């Protein structure tokens, strides 16, 4: 194993750092009330606002809370994290609805010809998004802004003029790195990196995000059984507000969730250029399960990497079956399939193909910005996490590959060595 490769050998039996142990012990002293009354009450207290807009979100919030309360393996740290996220979503919704009341012209803002990336988690979507977002002609969603999309009008900038939302995100990022240092090697959540817009669907309490940090089959099944178009509409309204607050006027967006929501995506963004990345799903499952199992040492009462891998093998299959079923809903003249190995071979050439389809000129300035991003973000910048499929995760690669045969039949994906 080379010096820049890292194998997490204690996934199943974690050896906690003093900080991790202290976080687990400390969280037990502050149990949270995962109830609708507690979550919404704190959001109201935090913002001084009380109008949540349409009340239908309460049904989904209640179901999410029920699902999390049913997750008996979730530890105190995990419960606090969920509580904070739900309070944040509720507070963000209050501020967004208040902004709309004060500025109804926001709904006249046009979201024109966005470039929207979909693809499996860990399939290059984040890298592709951040690469295209380096083009200053495009609007994108930095992580810090996604966490608090609407500023508090009562909150003044910091002493150096810094947005207090960015300052909070930087503080949280530093704490995360101290607590879970290897997350930077797997999925670096730096404050200024470009994030997924389905974070904005959190305001309407409907997305697959909750599945990433909790075991919530009840919520998963509800989400999959219900048309997500209204929640994509809500997300678009938040994008309109963000564009109204600052440009540019053309967006680049991405989320793996779009793979199973191509119908709603097409309905809500009919003039979008849709880019779908494709990678060997065994690598995706192994990478995602390793990342989540690493976080579980603090988040859950006990780590169970094979259970995580089994869940995400099933979840990835659901995503891919929906993609294969609905792929042709997106017309060929406005969509592109990008194979992972081709993207990794020439990143900027892939962007050139996307721009040609999207009718966006590759100017000398844009190419310079893309090249600058590539120079500043070489592959494996923070070291590469490696894994033992069978030993770490209990994955039988040949059996799993057979489950995904339908996907390999549909797209010419290159099998990766396992």
What's the CA gap between 316 and 313, in Å, rounded?
5
DSSP run (H or E) holding 85? helix 76-102
Q: Are 311 and 406 in contact (CB under 8 A)?
A: no
Return the SS3 of 73.
Answer: coil
Is residue 113 packed enough to be buried (19+ CB in 10 Å), middle (13-18) or exposed (0-12)?
Answer: middle
> What is the pLDDT tens value at each position of the chain, 418 positions in all?
444 788 999 999 999 999 999 999 999 999 999 999 999 999 999 999 999 999 999 999 999 999 999 999 999 999 999 999 999 999 999 999 999 999 999 999 999 999 999 999 878 899 999 999 999 999 999 999 999 999 998 898 877 878 999 999 999 999 999 999 998 888 788 999 999 999 999 999 999 999 999 999 999 999 999 999 999 999 999 999 999 999 999 999 999 999 999 999 999 999 999 999 999 999 999 999 999 999 999 999 999 999 999 999 999 999 999 999 999 999 999 999 999 999 999 999 999 999 999 999 999 999 999 999 999 988 766 668 888 889 999 999 999 999 999 999 999 999 997 7
pTM of this structure: 0.96
Q: What pLDDT does residue 124 have?
A: 86
Query: How is domain 5-154+163-410 classified at the CATH fold level?
Result: Rossmann fold (3.40.50)
Among candidates 47, 46, 109, 145, which has minimal Cα distance to 237? 109
Contacts of 320 (CB under 8 A, 6+ apart): 120, 259, 281, 404, 406, 407
Q: Tell me the domain boundaries of the chain.
A: 5-154+163-410
- The angle formed by the CA atoms of residues 253, 258 and 263, to the nearest 5 degrees, is 115
CA–CA separation, 14 and 12 (whole Å):
6
pLDDT, residue 109, reads 98
- The pair phi, psi for residue 116, each rounded to 5°, is -120, 125
How far is 96 from 107, CA to CA, in rounded Å?
12
């Amino acid at each position: 194993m080379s010096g820049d490769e890292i194998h997490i050998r204690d996934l199943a039996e974690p050896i906690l750092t003093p900080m991790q142990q202290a976080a687990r012990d400390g969280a037990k002293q502050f149990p949270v009330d995962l109830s609708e009354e507690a979550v919404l009450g704190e959001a109201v207290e935090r913002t001084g606002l009380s109008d949540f807009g349409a009340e239908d979100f309460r049904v989904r919030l209640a179901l999410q809370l029920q699902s999390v309360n049913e997750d008996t393996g979730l530890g105190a740290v995990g419960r606090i994290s969920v509580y904070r996220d739900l309070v944040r979503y509720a507070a963000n919704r209050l501020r967004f609805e208040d902004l709309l009341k004060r500025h109804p012209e926001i709904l006249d803002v046009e979201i024109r010809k966005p470039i929207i990336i979909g693809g499996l988690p860990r399939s290059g979507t984040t890298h592709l998004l951040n690469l295209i977002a380096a083009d200053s002609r495009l609007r994108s969603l930095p992580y810090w802004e996604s966490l608090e999309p609407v500023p508090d009008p009562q909150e003044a900038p910091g002493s150096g003029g810094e947005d207090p939302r960015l300052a909070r995100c930087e503080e949280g990022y530093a704490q995360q790195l101290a607590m879970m240092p290897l997350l930077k090697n797997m999925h670096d959540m730096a404050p200024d990196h470009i994030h997924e817009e389905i974070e904005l669907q959190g305001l309407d309490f409907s997305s697959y995000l909750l599945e990433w940090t909790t075991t919530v089959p009840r919520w998963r099944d509800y989400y999959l059984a219900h048309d997500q178009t209204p929640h994509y509409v809500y997300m678009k309204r938040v994008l309109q507000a963000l564009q109204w607050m600052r440009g540019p006027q053309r967006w680049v967006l991405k989320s793996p969730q779009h793979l199973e929501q191509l119908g709603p995506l097409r309905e809500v963004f009919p003039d979008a250029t849709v880019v779908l990345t494709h990678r060997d799903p065994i690598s995706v499952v192994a990478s995602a399960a390793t990342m989540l199992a690493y976080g579980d040492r603090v988040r859950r009462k006990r780590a169970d990497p094979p259970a995580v891998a089994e869940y995400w093998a099933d979840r990835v299959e659901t995503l891919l079956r929906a993609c294969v079923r609905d792929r042709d809903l997106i017309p060929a003249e406005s969509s592109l399939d990008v194979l992972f190995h081709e993207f990794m071979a020439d990143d900027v050439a892939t962007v050139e193909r996307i721009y040609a389809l999207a009718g966006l000129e590759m100017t000398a300035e844009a190419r310079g910005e893309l090249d600058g991003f590539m120079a500043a973000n070489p592959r494996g910048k923070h070291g590469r996490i490696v894994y033992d499929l069978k030993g770490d995760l209990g994955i039988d690669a040949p059996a799993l590959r057979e489950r995904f045969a339908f996907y390999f039949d549909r797209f010419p994906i290159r099998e990766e060595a396992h």
